[in-house]
Amino acid sequence: MIDPYGREITYLRVSVTDRCDFRCVYCMSEDMTFLPKRDILSLEELERLCGAFIRKGVRRLRLTGGEPLVRRNVMNLIGALGRHIADGNLDELTLTTNGSQLARFADQLYASGVRRINVSLDTLDADRFKAITRWGRLEQVLGGIEAAKQAGIRVKINTVALKGVNEGEFDRFVNWCGAEGFDWTLIETMPLGDIDGDRTDQYLPLDGVRERLGERWTLTESGYRTGGPARYADVAETGGRIGFITPMSHNFCESCNRVRLTCTGTLYMCLGQEDAADLRAPLRESAEDDLIEAAIDRAIGRKPKGHDFVIDRAGRKPAVARHMSVTGG
């Protein structure tokens, strides 16, 4: 799959549910209205769509949410998709999770072919964790991370940089991740969905964060890549890596190799644009996959050059109305 700008699309992110057992302040309002079950694709339909993308050249598949592991029987889907790795048709099956359910599923994930996961964790302070997630418990997440580690799954920690909230903990994260053998990635907050607060108060550009980290740690550019948008630096003191995802200050659109499929069968060619393609209709219209593959081709043919993310005082409304949990984190 080649888009209009010559980029090969080899990475699919699939939101298996818009539901989550946390209510992180930068992601959701506390009183969320989720999609009715009748609008959600079955696990079998999601598997069929993923199979179509794999046949068309997707080599990396990431399951997201909401929180993917709260979807009932989701391990049936993960097990089915893992067979594409065993067959050599898929290079990687992974997921992004808040860690709350990892203690239950870590061994099953490994058995299904998952070898690497991203865990969203914005603080190592229990009280602050409760304030950020509203509903979460830090000890549960840390227990899940340890379970994944013991199962043989490599863990990367994802942290949204929040001005005035967690910026005092970044050195602690470098120490902790280095000691545990985890890569650590910092992410700029993005203007997605209406939330209760003001993102202009939360936004922390990562240029300054990296500069401050460089005053204490020896950071050198790394050629390490995972297929995602992070640019990495090696940390000499710990032997670990720090990734920086900067959609606001320095976008990475020129190298974008991914598209996003929602749990309703909507395909977004860009996280920061509203244009989308409906794959649910062709999926349900025919038992054959010709209509699906044609719809995918048309969608890739109009993938935009980049997003229009802006956070400033003049434009307080989100650049995109849908929440991250709808598109897939």
Residue positions forming the annotated binding site for GTP = 13, 62, 96, 156, 258-260
At a CB cut-off of 8 Å and minimum separation 6, what does 37 contact? none
Q: Which residue has the higher pLDDT, 29 or 14?
A: 14
**What three-state secondary structure class fits 157?**
strand
Amino acid at 174: V
Nearest to 121 by CA among 97, 87, 102: 97
- Mark out the alpha helices in the chain (DSSP H runs): 43-55, 74-86, 102-111, 126-133, 138-151, 170-180, 199-202, 206-216, 280-285, 290-300, 324-327
Lowest mean pLDDT segment, chosen from 58-62, 141-145, 225-229, 283-287? 225-229
Which two three-digit tokens encode residue 211? Answer: 């500069």
Summarised one tens digit per residue, pLDDT across range 101-111 is: 999 999 999 99
Q: According to the model, what pLDDT value does residue 250 have?
A: 55
The predicted model gives 92-98 an average pLDDT of: 97
**pLDDT at position 319 over 50:** no
Residue positions forming the annotated binding site for [4Fe-4S] cluster = 20, 24, 27, 253, 256, 270
pLDDT band, very low/low/confident/very high, at 313 (cuts 50, 70, 90)? very low
Q: According to the model, what pLDDT value does residue 321 have?
A: 55
Instruction: Write down the mean pLDDT value for the chain.
Output: 89
Report domain 11-327's class: alpha beta
Helices (H) and strands (E) in the chain, counts: 11, 12
How many Cα neighbours within 13 Å face the side chain of 147? 19
Question: DSSP assignment of 170-218, as one string?
Answer: HHHHHHHHHHHT-EEEEEE---BS--SS-HHHHB--HHHHHHHHHHHS-
**What three-state secondary structure class fits 49?**
helix
Residue positions forming the annotated binding site for S-adenosyl-L-methionine = 26, 66, 120, 190
Are 85 and 115 in contact, with CB atoms under 8 Å apart?
Answer: no
What angle, 0 to 180 degrees and rounded to 10, lies between the N-to-C axes of helices 43-55 and 290-300? 60
d(CA 266, CA 33): 18
Q: Give the other-Cβ count within 10 Å of 239's Cβ.
A: 9
Q: According to the model, what pLDDT value does residue 329 have?
A: 53
Cα distances (Å, whole numbers) of residue 1 to 70, 80, 134, 155 = 32, 23, 41, 30
d(CA 259, CA 250): 20
**pLDDT at position 34 over 60:** yes
- What proportion of the chain, given as a percentage, has pLDDT over 70? 88
Q: According to the model, what pLDDT value does residue 29 have?
A: 79
d(CA 127, CA 146): 20
Residue positions forming the annotated binding site = 13, 20, 24, 26-27, 62, 66, 96, 120, 156, 190, 253, 256, 258-260, 270
Q: Give the other-Cβ count within 10 Å of 287's Cβ.
A: 7
Question: DSSP assignment of 92-113, as one string?
Answer: EEEEEE-STTHHHHHHHHHHTT
d(CA 217, CA 222): 15
pLDDT band, very low/low/confident/very high, at 228 (cuts 50, 70, 90)? confident
